[in-house]
Structure 1
Amino acid sequence: MKQRTRNWLLLAPAGTWFLVMLIVPLTVVLIFSFGERGASGGYVPALTLEQYANLPARWTAFKNTMVLAPAGTMAALLIAYPLAYFLAVRASPRWKTILLVLVIVPFWTSILIRSYAWIFLLGGRGIPALLGWAGLEDIRLINTPFAVLIGIIYGYLPLMVFPIFVSLDRLDKRLLEASSDLGARPWHTFVHVTLPLSIPGIATGCMLVFILLMGEFLIPAMLGGGKVFFVGNALVDLFLQSRNWAYGSAVAVTLVVVMLVTVTAYMRLIKRLGAQREDVAIM
């Protein structure tokens, strides 16, 4: 069997799955976006840009998503990197396993239950009550962007920790020793050796968290209380409640385009940083 034929046969299962589960649904959504809403909801075939012209009506949802999704990603990165660094570089093998299990434990519980826990903690009888006893009155945390940000960090932190941990755990410790032997201070070693070589883990973690946050709807719905909503919440409303499939499809297509542009720009940045990482590895 020729090599080219064998390659096509090997790619056929994944390619078929990709076509059926991704390309076909996206094509259907794209077609729906040029249609109209029926009298009783749903979709009526048409060829119009009216749905795209109405996109400014959902500007708040796009704004919240484009602000809180990157902010949540960066906040998760700032918290996850020191934790992953400690697990990979500083922790003993015995404690490393235990701590990794503790990072995984929240994933054993439904995100719905964890969000309800945060509703109590951020509600009037939780943290605000403790702050009130300390003399800080009228502190409102629930149903605010801050509450949504807290839920995002808590819910997606493990997805940021593990890629960074793997990248740091595979780091050749001899490079750190060589940097120290050459007289570099610990901070300089971290900035010029450890951080550049951990860029693949950072890139993977940020990509995982950011892409998932762009479609998030449960955390804003529960911790935002209808006052802070993402594009995902708008899509749930348009498809399931308003039954405006054409408008919902236009919003979904726009979200996909925004994600493609953002991810492409991000990957180009990572590629440049990766070139710097290779220079460090050569040195």
Structure 2
Amino acid sequence: MTIDTSHDHQPLASLTAETGGKTRRIAVHVVMIVLSVLSIFPIYWMIVTSLRPENEIFSTAMWPANPTLDNYVFVLTRIPMLQMLFNTTVVAATTAGLQVVTGLFAAYALVRWKMRLSGVIHGLIALSWLVPFQVTMIPNYVLASKLGLLDTLTGLILPNASHAFAVLLLYHAMRSFPTEILEAARIDGAKSWKILWQIVAPNMGAPIASLSIIAFISAWNEYFWPLLLSRKPENSVVQIGLQMFMTQEGNLWGPLMAAAALASLPILIIYLVLQRHVIESFMKSGIR
């Protein structure tokens, strides 16, 4: 006589699989919590240091014993911080907008207009992405000097008005756009300008949003070009303002952290307000 034990092993296997699944989920959550703490802690420490008085700057306490806003007052009275924040916002927003527009023009021309050298042009644009900005910085400076753009916001914007990354991102996104829609619009008499702005651009929200975010953050963090072009603090950007608190005699850590907190605040607010749209734009455009 044989005894069927399959029914006895099935609940045990199911219980083991369920336990293993819970263990994996717990491990994943623990790793995510640790990574989140590691990401947030520098921001927390920057804010805490900005609130410390001078005699507590190097304290390792998690919160200052006597928090003060003196560092923020020092920053706002020592340099034109608010004007620098305004300049940086104008430069970053304008640069991002121009990169989107020039990227759309170039990508549409490469995708829709059949040219013998289109492959060569695409390759040259891709190769120009590999050239560091430090290589073209001096020629750009000479040109800006001859055009009278030194110490101006226009001079900070124009060299970054177009970028190879913007062209390539929108080019690959535009290649997947249904050609049937474009042909139907052309048969109806629509010109290239109307097709681009009324059909193509409205249906490329994800890549355009991704490009706008990347271009804005990149322009906001730009340092070398404003350092070379700017002369007066009121015509400069916030990254130059941060450098003013770093001297050969030593760094003013309290004011430096206060200025860094003020410089980071707009980016953090933008991310918190547009968090869902930022994540969706990166997921839909395939950027990781």
TM-score by length of 1: 0.74
Which consecutive residues of structure 1, in runs of 5 or more, have no partner in the other structure?
A: 129-138, 274-283
Q: How does 1:149-164 map to 2 (within 5 A)?
A: 149-153=157-161, 157-164=163-170
Q: What does the per-residue CA deviation read over 1:230-282, in whole Å, with 9 as the maximum and x for residues that have no partner? A: 111111222455612122212222222211323455678889x9xxxxxxxxx
Q: Which residue in 1 is equivalent to 2:251? A: 243
Residues 187-214 of structure 1, C-alpha deviations (whole Å, 9 max, x = no match): 4443332111122121111110101211
Show the 5 A alignment for 1:112-261. Answer: 112-123=134-145, 128=146, 140-153=148-161, 157-181=163-187, 183=188, 185-186=190-191, 187-226=193-232, 228-239=235-246, 243-261=251-269
Output the TM-score relative to the length of structure 2: 0.73
2:95 aligns with: 72
**Aligned partners of 1:43 and 1:245 also within 8 Å:** no
1:99 pairs with 110, 121, 124, which one?
121
The runs of 5 or more residues in structure 2 that have no matched partner are 1-16, 282-288
Tell whether the 8 Å contact from 2:271 to 2:278 is kept in structure 1 after alignment. no
Match of 1:277 in 2: none
Larger radius of gyration: 2
The answer to whether the aligner puts 1:24 opposite 2:44 as a matched pair is no
Deviation of 1:51 after TM superposition, in Å, equals 2.3
Q: Deviations over 1:37-60 (max 9, x none)?
A: 359xx6565411222344533122
**Maintained 8 Å contact 1:43/1:244:** no
Maintained 8 Å contact 2:126/2:164:
yes
Using the alignment, how far apart are the partners of 2:23 and 2:161 within structure 1? 46
Per the alignment, residue 48 of structure 1 pairs with 68
**Paired position in structure 2 for 1:34:** 51
Matched-pair identity in %: 17
Contact kept? 1:35, 1:43, Cα under 8 Å? no
Give the partner amino acid of 1:147. Answer: G
Tell me the SS of whatever aligns to 1:204: helix
1:251/1:79 CA distance change after superposition, 3 Å: same
Q: Residues of 2 paired with 1:267 and 1:194: CA distance?
A: 25
Q: 1:82 is matched with which residue: 66, 86, 105?
A: 105
Cα distance per residue 1:76-130 (max 9 Å; x no partner): 22222201211233245x744422322233333332222122112223xxxx3xx
Q: Deviations over 1:118-161 (max 9, x none)?
A: 112223xxxx3xxxxxxxxxx6222322221123325xx12322
Distance 1:13 1:268, change over 3 A: closer
| Count, aligned residues | 252
Take 1:160 and 1:218, find their aligned partners in 2: how far apart are those partners? 21
Against the structure 1 CA distance between its residues 77 and 36, is the aligned structure 2 distance closer, same or farther, given a 3 Å change threshold? same
Contact 1:167 1:201 in 2 (8 A): yes
Determine if contact 2:51/2:67 at 8 Å carries over to the other structure: yes
Aligned to 1:108, the other structure's residue is in SS state: coil
Report how far residue 219 of structure 1 moved.
1.1
